[in-house]
Amino acid sequence: MTRPLAVVDTADPLACLAALRDALDGEGPAVLFRGGGVNPVHTAPLSVEQRIALVVETSGTTGRPKRVALSADAVLASAAASESALGGPGQWLLALPVQYIAGSNVLARSLAGGTTPMPVPPGRLSADRVLEAVAAMDDPVRYTALVPAQLSRLVDEAEADDALRRALAGFSRILVGGQATPAPLVERATALGWHLTRTYGSSETCGGVVYDGRAIGQAEVRIIDGRVELGGPTLAEYYLDDPERTAATFVEHDGARWYRTDDAGELENGVLRVTGRIDDTIVTGGLKVRLGDVERIVREQPGLADAVVVAGHHPEWGEVPVVVTSARPELDALRRAVGAVLPPEARPDRVVTVDAVPLLPSGKPDRLAAARRANPGH
């Protein structure tokens, strides 16, 4: 059996809330939220399988678009796991676009908890907009979800704006995910009295299923040949119209389904540590270097929370690590910091300073655009 798929404009988040409620209840069509900033993914199908409630479009960081089909059971399992991990329901400040899974999850958690989310007014996230939305919230238990770029912006403002500091210190929990959050940024936010939880997951797992390194709800984590794989009831059903990608990404073992991420990681005493991307290894002078390892060290340096490390062309070594950032760090200092932890070949070859590190609409770094900045003419 099938059901209609409705493409819903994200201009009115509360209308999206109602559409998602009907989709989860089975009273309305499945929904695909689409905003003006989304990378368009051709024309959506007119219908999907009956069990599908939500379709999430994403370009990822590689530029190849995909449409992730999530069942009502998966969406509700994700909301229940989050509520349990957080200690109960509360009112959510909606600071993320609802076309992305983190934004959709704020809607789903609100529905599950019987609360109404409070959207931040449209426009660039700022202290004034956040304070306006917080002032309209009426539940003493408050949550929000951010990506690191948003957190960095708010920390910068709150260090000079006590009203913003106090407002967000009153939140029971601030979830931060979508990409790795630099440790110095976490320390700065914690010093402001903010209660952070770093999350890990993706559209394919209906958002974060690992909080501060530990699986939540019925989620499971395993490492296979260095790759992080995630399992449990929140997994997507498939990619729409892409059976090959579905077969390569979702695998079965002993009757259980697993999502094969593109991340490398380690498990120690049940705590997951993501160490980088499976596909971010370059060969420089015949030696392998993982750019994620380099980037993690670079972003821990003062003022470099926005830095991205990409592969750069080199006439002698082939490929080399290149730092793309809006700051102007000293290359020698960066090379010393990286060289103190990693082999010599991992030291950055050069720094490319830009007005702003290019971002995807989701707030994640646009690594393809950053690589183009690092390699003009290639």
Predicted pLDDT of residue 39? 43
Cα 110 to Cα 182: distance, rounded to the nearest angstrom: 29
Domain ranges of the chain: 2-271, 280-374
Digit-coded pLDDT (tens) for 37-52: 444 444 567 889 999 9
Interatomic CA distance for residues 216 and 178, integer angstroms? 17
Q: State the Cα–Cα distance between residues 112 and 24, nearest whole angstrom.
A: 10
- What pLDDT, on the 0 to 100 scale, is given for residue 40? 44
CB of 210 closer than 8 Å to CB of 272: yes
Q: What is the model's pLDDT at position 88?
A: 97
Q: Quick one: CA dihedral 161, 189, 168, 105, positive or negative? A: positive
SS3 8: strand
pLDDT score of 114:
97
User: Is the whole model's pTM more than 0.95, yes or no?
Assistant: no
CATH no. of 2-271 = 3.40.50.12780
Q: What would be the CATH architecture of the domain defined by 280-374? A: 2-Layer Sandwich (3.30)
Q: Which residues of the chain have pLDDT under 50?
A: 37-42, 61-62
Nearest partner of 353 among 321, 337, 330, judged by Cα: 330
